[in-house]
Amino acid sequence: MGHDAPSSAYLSVSSQGQVVLALVGVGIGNAEVVLLDATGTPQLSIDTEGKLVDAPQAVPAGLNLPVSDPGHDKLGMRVDLVRRQEMALGICGARWLEKHASGVCADAAKNCKHEEHEHE
């Protein structure tokens, strides 16, 4: 599969108004997940390692990621907690989205200060 477009997407909104957008089929892992505030500004992001099977949810500690795990559960799913400190600031952890962003997300991508981006 190429990295031209996501194969699917998930969107959820927490009771605190935080929006979680997951783009499946992009990035180094299986998906890129971005935590946005109520205005749509990216706060944190990450490239996931497991295959998402449902929408990630924002929780006070970070994100709950439902990923496939055929070896441990009858449903073939587990929920991984990704702590906020394990995520990149802004949109820097979502490389595909960073490259294809517009509006507020594009502004956040311009402010990315990760060393790995400085050589591009």
Specify if 2 maps to a domain.
no
Which residue, among 1, 26, 21, 17, has the nearest Cα to 9 in the 3D structure? 21
pLDDT, tens digit, 9 for 90 and up, residues 9-46? 999 999 888 999 999 988 667 889 999 988 888 899 99
Specify if 79 maps to a domain.
yes
Whether the CB-CB separation of 29 and 50 falls below 8 Å is answered with yes
| Per-residue model confidence (pLDDT) at position 72 | 62
Specify if 3 maps to a domain.
no
| Per-residue model confidence (pLDDT) at position 96 | 83
CA distance 1 to 11: 22
- What is the total count of domains within the chain? 1
| Per-residue model confidence (pLDDT) at position 118 | 43
- Domain ranges, residue 96: 8-115
Q: Which residue has the higher pLDDT, 78 or 84?
A: 84
Specify if 14 maps to a domain.
yes
Q: Exposed, middle or buried, 71 (CB in 10 Å: 0-12/13-18/19+)?
A: exposed
Mean pLDDT of 64-92: 83
Percent of the chain with pLDDT over 70: 77
Specify if 38 maps to a domain.
yes
Q: What is the pTM of this model?
A: 0.78
Which residue, among 38, 34, 48, has the nearest Cα to 90 in the 3D structure? 34
Specify if 33 maps to a domain.
yes
Q: Which residue has the higher pLDDT, 91 or 81?
A: 81
Element (H, E) at 107: helix 103-110
Q: Which residue has the higher pLDDT, 102 or 72?
A: 102
Specify if 80 maps to a domain.
yes
Specify if 120 maps to a domain.
no
Checking if the pLDDT of 86 tops 60, the result is yes
